[in-house]
Amino acid sequence: MNILLVNPPSSFILRTFNEISLPDMPLNLAYIASCLEATGHDVRIIDMNVVETVEDLQRRLHELDFHLAGFTSTTPAINSCYRTIKIIKLALPWIKIMLGGWHASALPSKTLQECKEIDYIIRGEGEKTCQELVTRLASGGSLENVKGLAYRDDAGRIHVTEERPLIQDIDAIPYPARHLLDLDAYRRIGFYTVGGYFKKDLYLSSMITSRGCAFNCTFCADSTIYKSTCRLRSPENVIAEMKHMIHEHDIRIFFITDANFTLSKKRVMRICNLMIDEGLKIMWGCAARVDCVSLDLLKLMKKAGCTRISYGIESGSPRILKLMNKRISIKQIRDAVRMTKQVGIPVYLYFVYGIPDETMNDARKSGHLLMDLKPDYVTHSIATPFPGSQLYDEALDRGILKDVDWDMFNYPYNYVIINPGFTEIFKYQARVMKRFYLSPHFIMQTLKNLKSIYHVLFYLRALKHLIIYMFTFR
């Protein structure tokens, strides 16, 4: 079967952020593609967030006689996804459409109702369900016992099948099909890579070394797919994929997109020791929880090539951290940032503002903590109740979710929770961002990093967006 997989264009707001960051490589689609290729199907991937336009899409629709098109879905981009699906159905009326991802997995029936052109929803982890669905479609078999599926029958009735168990041995999943992506589109390096390194001729890639998260923060929809569990790839399997990417694609920079790379200290130390023993000359970054790092681990990570760690500390208010079910303390935040700086790894911090019942006092505690910690980079997000998260359920139960369409779930700017005090909180966090990025500490640090014309051009783009942000929300 000939199958087209599409990463639909994100919103204008989120695409603006891509000017100063690394476009997200659609590894979810690349994993699906590798599993479908392994069972003999011909697959293509179009990523409309990098170089693909609607015109490119229409042209590529005729590369093969496609039988099936698959899409991934996030809440902020779901309307864009619907529009792209309609374009494909108009050009190829006979094609069947399947949709997976967080949004569709959280709201399968509603998604089918909102977009009549969608035939199948892949709920949860997609590899096995996609393989079985394609096999049934090719043979004309029944779909009623395909686990992890929602679909519309010939009479228009919607069916939701039994949940599919998670894949336990994730080492057995083939490496994502990066050969189907235009790697040149992911060459550009920005803040979202590995510590501000700018080397024009180096390829970079994101990679996944685990699936899921063992924690359950209220604003996160991860459990929609991974059920609040975390499965780890073996160190040997992780290193084998890195070596494959080096040898096959000349990739030398990696960002590990695990929710918490350092969950297992023993595993991370083994991975780092293998990087060193194998002589891998690479740079890499990761995300971690502040309660899952130690000084000896950070020293080894630095030695193995780690050039960035991102910590989602979310708030400087213990009360808000408790409401988020974050399960960390301010002391743990301070200790992790101090140790990471001590070993020389750049620190990136993430804050969330606007949790229901947050007050200006809570917001000020976050601002004071940020200015005290002096990280290398910080970003603030608005608490957005994505479907599948506890925050979404709470907002519905309390009647504090605004009656808006999905386009309003663009978390950098829009606030969809009813909270009378949030306007002042939002203005405050904008002022904090201004203070941080115009502080002598950050300016001196930036000047030290200006080592090539690529640094200069990057920071000029970033400055443009910072100015727009500050003057829009002052």
Residue 175 domain-assigned (yes or no): no
User: What angle is formed at CA 382 by the lines to CA 381 and CA 383, rounded to 5 degrees?
Assistant: 115
Same domain, 208 and 134: no
Residue 180 domain-assigned (yes or no): no
What range defines the domain where residue 145 resides? 2-160
Same domain, 226 and 123: no
DSSP 349: E
What is the band of 59 on the pLDDT scale with cuts at 50, 70, 90? Answer: confident
Residue 340 domain-assigned (yes or no): yes
How far, in Å, CA of 113 to CA of 90, rounded?
Answer: 19
CB 288 within 8 A of CB 264: no
How far, in Å, CA of 373 to CA of 273, rounded?
Answer: 30
The reported pLDDT for the residue numbered 167 is: 96
CB 50 within 8 A of CB 57: no
Question: Structural domain tally of the chain?
Answer: 2
pLDDT tens for 106-164 read 999 999 999 999 999 999 999 999 999 999 999 999 999 999 999 999 889 999 999 99
Domain with 136 in it: what CATH number?
Answer: 3.40.50.280
Q: Which residue has the tokens 């949030």?
A: 422
**Closest CA relative to residue 231, chosen from 179, 172, 287:** 172
Same domain, 266 and 330: yes
Same domain, 366 and 219: yes
Q: Which residue, of 160, 179, 211, is where some domain finishes?
A: 160
What is the band of 11 on the pLDDT scale with cuts at 50, 70, 90? Answer: low
| Statement: residue 51 has pLDDT above 70 | no
Same domain, 144 and 195: no
Task: Give the burial class of 65: count Cβ atoms within 10 A of its Cβ; 0-12 exposed, 13-18 middle, 19 or more buried.
Answer: exposed
Overall pTM > 0.75: yes
β-strand pairing of 96-101 with 68-73: parallel
Q: Which has more pLDDT, 390 or 188?
A: 390
How far, in Å, CA of 66 to CA of 2, rounded?
Answer: 5
Q: Which has more pLDDT, 396 or 197?
A: 396
3-class state of residue 6 by DSSP: strand
Same domain, 253 and 319: yes
Residue 165 domain-assigned (yes or no): no
Alpha helices in 250-348 (DSSP H): 265-277, 295-303, 318-323, 330-343
3-class state of residue 27 by DSSP: helix
Residue 11 domain-assigned (yes or no): yes
Tell me which amino acid residue 429 is. Answer: Q
Q: Where are the beta strands (DSSP E) in 293-432?
A: 306-314, 347-353, 377-382
What does the pLDDT average to over 383-412? 88
Tokens of residue 405, six digits: 């369409």
Same domain, 297 and 391: yes
Q: Which residue, of 160, 177, 196, is where some domain finishes?
A: 160
Q: How many helices (H) and strands (E) does the chain have?
A: 18, 15
Domain with 212 in it: what CATH number?
Answer: 3.80.30.20
How far, in Å, CA of 33 to CA of 3, rounded?
Answer: 9
The neighbour count for residue 291, using CB atoms within 10 Å, is 16
Residue 67 domain-assigned (yes or no): yes
How far, in Å, CA of 304 to CA of 307, rounded?
Answer: 9
Residue 181 domain-assigned (yes or no): no
Same domain, 153 and 204: no
